[in-house]
Amino acid sequence: MKRLLTGNEAIAEGVIESGVEVITGYPGTPSSEVILNLKSMQNKADFRPQHIEWSINEKVALEIAAGAAWAGKRALVTMKMSGLNVAADSLVSIAYSGCRGGLVIFVADDPGAHAGMAEQDSRHYARLMIIPMLDLASQQEGLDYMKLAFELSEKIGGPIFLRSTTDISHVASDVEIGNRLNLEKREIFLEKDITRYTKAASSWCIAQHKDAINRLKQALDYTDNYLSEHGIRVNEMSLDEKIKEGVIYSGAVEGNFKEAIKRYNLKLSWLKIGLIHPLPEERIKRFLEKVERVLILEELDPFIETEVRRIASQMNKSVDIWGKFNKDFLPWVGGYSFREIKKGLETFLGKVFESEQDSRIRLKAKEIEVKRTTSFCVGCPHRGAYFALNKAIKKLKYKKDEIIITGDIGCTILGMNKPFESCWTEIAMGASIGLAQGFKWAGIEKPVIATIGDSTFFHAGIPPLINAIYQKVPLTVIILDNGWTAMTGFEENPGTLAFDNKEDTKRVDIREICQGCGVEDLKVIDPYKPEEAINTIIKAIKYPGVSVVLSRQECALQAKRRKVNFAKYRVDIKKCTGCRVCLNSVGCPAMVFHPAEEKGRPYMEITMDCFGCGICKFDCPTGAIEEIKDGK
């Protein structure tokens, strides 16, 4: 049976078909939908894993999955590429120790940086950590390779990377559903072996290192000729002795490469590589023996190309290799659209397949297009928090460009956009609080402020906060606690219970964490109440030590979903002068401005989308914005 599935949905189906029992992860675009889907199918679709959770961060998620795999279960952990950096410390050690039950690490990269963040190429981790890596070239492979990954992990006794990219994870295609493995509930396996599961003696470490390297070879032997249940070969070669030109490719470029072959009726030999670590060296040699010129297509770094060049240099035949090391040829950054692949092939083959559109048209379109910047959603509590923060800074008589505000990952970073333009930096989870301390030690005497969301604080914000307290660094941390990990798809986190009643978890209160860390100046504000919020932030900024302001109000979209209602607002058109002060100071998408041309005089309208946060009322000079009381 075929279904229309995104790559992440296909991967989730592969997880179900593999009978995985423990599933953990931390949300991050473009990886989140795997667990979001599994959670939504839990107990439906005859899918009853022992446990699925959104963990506090990727490192903890990985450790939980590894523990389960060491006890003999099949376990999956998911994350985006930046999350892999967080999990890396534990993962290296786990890879050396290996595992008993299948352990798969799903990581999604984002060539083109669609979701923001450093455009890192996570394939390098495979080499660094000595972990075999399967790289997806299609949605179908998401399902097939997930199943293969578990098989392979148990076969070799070590963890396996499954890597995807945005173009696979977020695109849907027709995917053939497979058979579910009929796995008996697995016995718990107890193995006390300190030579394998600790690193306390150098001889054990050396032995583990050797084991890890041996597992690579086994992985290659198992996969090189592997044929999946839907007829996909992991490493596949199409060789025509008469053709002198070949292409070696891997990953998401497959779609556009095959598109070009069909469209322009190209005659090329090709080698597709699905297991990108370890590379199928013998196969690559066989391929290079038969061609004279070879083009290497892969997104981001020349990961495969470097190896192909090394392999070619050891052969006693010269092959003309084309790739990212050629000057001004294939780019090292961004995803490869059809245009890049076509251009690459055209240059490689020395002919133009199809002429392009007059570039003038694209330039003209770019020039006149409408920019739509992202801002906070209607009723978003972060709007109130940044609104109050900006007002507080102004009341303290500071200029905007002299107060450093370090931002952090998540929705809260939108405070850098109009109309607030508050945040200066965004680095990595929790980094706002560490960076702020550095700015202080550099000698900045004016206040330095860090803003961070609840989930980001749980994830990596606590150690830098403790550090600031211990080192007595005067700074203000504003924690924007909306109760959800909202940006990546409204996942829950340890603080979510404040809003959403569930019985199988216990809420961890950020206020108590701050108290426990030794924060002496700790205040809670309601971002929907500007007056109090502004005054509290002023006091916090003036405080001579570490001050924390906890801004609390549920994510408006989640609150709406849960049918939480506030009285809406409207504009009294008789009082409104159309000055747009409200629009410029809060920029809420529920507002529509009507210029004078429409009805003879300008005025503001608040549409039915209003959530009733009430912030826009604060600045209106004529008092035209009013609450709708009892629906009147």
Partner 1 sequence: MENNFYITGVGGQGVVRLGQILALYGLEKGKKVRFYKQVGMAQRGGPVHCEVRIGEVFGSRIPPLSADIVVVMELAEGLKALEFVKPGGMVILNRKKIYPLDLMAYPDQYPPEEEIIQLFKEVGAKIFWIEADRITQEINLPLAENIIILGVIANFLSLDKSILLNLLEKNVLGSFLTKNLEAFERGFQWAEEMK
- The residues that touch ligand SF4, with contacts defined as CB under 6 A, are 378-379, 569, 571, 576-582, 586, 588, 590-591, 604, 606, 610-616, 620, 622, 624-625
When CB distances are held under 5 to 8 angstroms depending on the partner's kind, the choice from partner 1, ligand SF4, none that residue 362 binds is partner 1
167 binds partner 1 (CB under 8 A): yes
75 bridge partner residues: 22, 103
* Angular region, 113: left φ>0, alpha ψ -120 to 50, beta rest: left
352 binds partner 1 (CB under 8 A): no
Q: Nearest CA to 79 among 9, 26, 3?
A: 26
Supply 239's token pair. 């060789």
- Coil, helix or strand at residue 167: helix
Question: Residues 88, 92, 117, 171: which binds partner 1 (CB under 8 A)?
Answer: 171
Question: Residues 46, 193, 358, 503: which binds partner 1 (CB under 8 A)?
Answer: 358
The whole-angstrom separation of Cα 450 and Cα 435 is 8
Site residues (CB under 8 A) for partner 1, limited to 574-613: 580, 583, 587, 589-593, 595, 597, 602, 609
Q: Nearest CA to 281 among 246, 324, 312, 250?
A: 312
Question: Residues 48, 210, 339, 561: which binds partner 1 (CB under 8 A)?
Answer: 339
Binding mask 204-243 for partner 1 (x = CB under 8 A): ----------------------------------------
Q: Which is nearer to ligand SF4, 137 or 604 (CB)?
A: 604
> For residues 484-508, b (16+ Cβ closer than 10 Å) or e, as one string?
bbbbbebbbbbbbbebeeeeeeebe
When CB distances are held under 5 to 8 angstroms depending on the partner's kind, the choice from ligand SF4, partner 1, none that residue 614 binds is ligand SF4
Site residues (CB under 8 A) for partner 1, limited to 428-457: none
The CA–CA distances, whole Å, from 196 to 67, 132, 551 equal: 14, 19, 47
- Coil, helix or strand at residue 403: coil
192 binds partner 1 (CB under 8 A): no
399 binds partner 1 (CB under 8 A): no
Burial tier of 16 (Cβ tally within 10 Å: 0-12, 13-18, 19+): buried
Q: Which stretch binds partner 1 (CB under 8 A): 101-109, 331-339, 447-455, 507-515?
A: 331-339
The whole-angstrom separation of Cα 394 and Cα 484 is 30
User: Measured from the CB of residue 31, what is the shortest distance to partner 1 in angstroms?
Assistant: 16
Helix (H) / strand (E) containing 528: none
Number of shown-chain residues binding partner 1 (CB under 8 A): 58
User: Measured from the CB of residue 325, what is the shortest distance to partner 1 in angstroms?
Assistant: 25
Q: Which stretch binds partner 1 (CB under 8 A): 10-18, 169-177, 381-389, 521-529?
A: 169-177
Residue with tokens 């578990």: 150
Q: Which is nearer to partner 1, 56 or 573 (CB)?
A: 573
Q: Which is nearer to ligand SF4, 276 or 620 (CB)?
A: 620
User: Measured from the CB of residue 174, what is the shortest distance to partner 1 in angstroms?
Assistant: 5
The whole-angstrom separation of Cα 95 and Cα 200 is 16
485 binds partner 1 (CB under 8 A): no
Q: Nearest CA to 14 among 117, 102, 96, 83?
A: 102
The whole-angstrom separation of Cα 520 and Cα 232 is 60
Q: Which is nearer to ligand SF4, 127 or 575 (CB)?
A: 575
Kindly report the backbone phi and psi dihedral angles of residue 257, in degrees, each rounded to the nearest multiple of 5, phi listed first.
Answer: -65, -50
Per the CB < 8 A criterion, the answer to whether 68 and 101 are in contact is yes
User: Measured from the CB of residue 259, what is the shortest distance to partner 1 in angstroms?
Assistant: 4
Burial tier of 353 (Cβ tally within 10 Å: 0-12, 13-18, 19+): middle
Question: Residues 100, 163, 170, 283: which binds partner 1 (CB under 8 A)?
Answer: 170
The whole-angstrom separation of Cα 280 and Cα 133 is 12
Question: Residues 44, 192, 242, 262: which binds partner 1 (CB under 8 A)?
Answer: 262
342 binds partner 1 (CB under 8 A): yes
Question: Residues 185, 217, 362, 502: which binds partner 1 (CB under 8 A)?
Answer: 362
Q: Where along the sequence are the contacts to partner 1 (CB under 8 A)?
A: 2-4, 114, 167, 170-174, 252, 254-259, 262-263, 337-339, 342, 354, 356-358, 361-362, 364-366, 368-378, 418, 487, 557, 580, 583, 587, 589-593, 595, 597, 602, 609
